Each structure stands twice: as structure tokens, then as C-alpha cells.
Amino acid sequence: MDKRDIYDGLSKLELDLESSLQQLTAMKAALQEIVEKNTTLELENQKLREYLQELKEENAAEEVKQGMSKSRMNLEKIYEEGFHICRESYGARRENDEQCVFCLEVLYRESQN
């Protein structure tokens, strides 16, 4: 191998190393951006979990205030959507959203022990 080939080989190796260094720098920057986004998302996720917990606690407190069980609240929602929840017409659509005495009795009667 003569001196010219060695010099050309070293020049090519230098260019390859510079190219690799540029790729490594770009990958490092991309990784840094991903880590920052991940950290931001983790913080946001934690805040959302805390907010959900607060909402659950508020709902539980509201349920206690209303004195209605969750199942009765679900029945009330179905009734408000325009469907019967009484034994006589369960699941049928209420005509013109008229009130049904039987449904209201199911919703608001006192618990029988």
C-alpha cells in the first residue's frame, strides 16, 4: 500500500466518522425531545389522575347528598332519556315525555327494609 492510498483511506474514514457524528448528534437531539415530551405527558397524566380522583370523590359526595344509589341514578337517567322504568311498561318509550306515576314511584320511593 503506498502513501497515497493510506492518505485517501484516512480521508474517507474521516468523512465517514464526521457523517456518523452528525447522525449521532441528530439522534441525541431526537431522544432529548422524546424524553422531554414523555416527562410532560407523565406530569399531565398525573394531574388528570388527580382530577379524576377529585371528580370521583365529588360524585360520591353528591350521591350521598342526593340519597340515591348509583342504580337508581342510572334508572333516573334512563327515565330522563324518555323511557319507562316501571314494571308495567319497562323499556317502552314515553309518549311526548309525559310523566309516569309508576316510574316516579320506582325512582323516589323509600327503601323497604
| Residue positions forming the annotated binding site for Zn(2+) | 84, 86, 100, 103
Binding residues: 84, 86, 100, 103
Report d(CA 97, CA 80) in Å as an integer: 8
- CA-to-CA distance for 50 and 44, rounded, in angstroms? 10
Compute the distance between CA of residue 52 and CA of residue 44 in angstroms, rounded to an integer: 12
d(CA 91, CA 74): 13
With the C-alpha atoms ordered 86, 88, 89, 91, is the resulting torsion angle positive or negative? positive
Residue whose entry in the numeric block shows the C-alpha cell 309525559: 98
